[in-house]
Amino acid sequence: MSAFTPNEMMTIAASRALKNDDVCFVGIGAPSAACNVARLTHAPDITLIYESGTIGTAPDVLPLSIGDGELCETATTTVSVPEMFRYWLQGGRISIGFLGAAQIDKFGNINTTVIGDYHHPKTRLPGGGGAPEIATSSQQVYITMAQSRRGMVETIAFYTSFGHGEGGDHRQRLGIDTQGPTLLITDLAIWKPDPVTKEFTVVSLHPGVTREQVQDTCGWPVKFADDVAVTPPPTELELRTLRDLKARTDAAHKGQATTA
């Protein structure tokens, strides 16, 4: 087995969670890499949808943004943004919303807006885009991010995308009938919400990762499942697919920069 990085393990573990019949609303960055690795390996018929209105896209390289022409050129069809959100997303037609996060708490609430006070922030982040709607209207939400104490915090600075709120049945009490975040994949572990409390719990450690490493990079006391598994390492096919995709992407984007 080839050596692999924690980021590669995270992306591949995330890709494995997707099924061939999923209709997936894809976030830019790590979610996009995971979704396209799934499409190129075990889930060739997965329907990938991006916020700009592209449906059934099959990019040869990873997009720089939702406005990347690669998405429209390879899509089955492209619809208007209002139709994408009102008919497809709010109409309940998206099985998986795949999001990244700058900050996340133990109940899967996401901040991508500001760090610090909203009116005088220490850091202004990219913002929500369509993520708040994706988080409430997709049947399930998968989240992927690298672990750090700055990112995984006891209390997020701003609620951009609602997860399980204060835990328990908070979503249901607000009239949100979708499942919310059901999976968190980091560069160290796989987490799932407790069925009752909805607090994210470690169910699998990536190869070579210890419980201490997970706790040291998390800002709240980590809970571990009774039987913590070990994530299967990437296969040669998975690694080659991801690395080839990244290499094509790097070459394409460097070419654009050179000729701009």
**Is the per-residue pLDDT at 2 higher than 80?**
no
User: How many domains does the structure of the chain reveal?
Assistant: 1
Asked whether residue 55 is domain-assigned, the answer is yes
What tens digit of pLDDT does each residue of 191-244 get? 999 999 999 999 999 999 999 999 999 999 999 999 999 999 999 999 999 999
| Residues whose CB is less than 8 angstroms from the CB of residue 100 and which lie 6 or more positions away in sequence, other chains included | 27, 28, 29, 30, 31, 112, 143, 144, 145
CATH of residue 235's domain is 3.40.1080.10
Asked whether residue 1 is domain-assigned, the answer is no
β-pairing, 54-55 vs 114-116, is: unpaired
**Is the per-residue pLDDT at 259 higher than 60?**
no
Residues of the domain holding 241:
6-259
Asked whether residue 112 is domain-assigned, the answer is yes
| Residues whose CB is less than 8 angstroms from the CB of residue 50 and which lie 6 or more positions away in sequence, other chains included | 25, 26, 57, 63, 66, 71
Where in the sequence numbering do the catalytic residues fall? 51
Q: How confident is the model at residue 103 (pLDDT cuts 50, 70, 90)?
A: very high
Bridge partners, residue 142, by sequence: 98, 183
Its pTM stands at 0.93
Asked whether residue 203 is domain-assigned, the answer is yes
Q: Whole-angstrom Cα distance, residue 56 to residue 76?
A: 5
What tens digit of pLDDT does each residue of 142-164 get? 999 999 999 999 999 999 999 99
Asked whether residue 202 is domain-assigned, the answer is yes
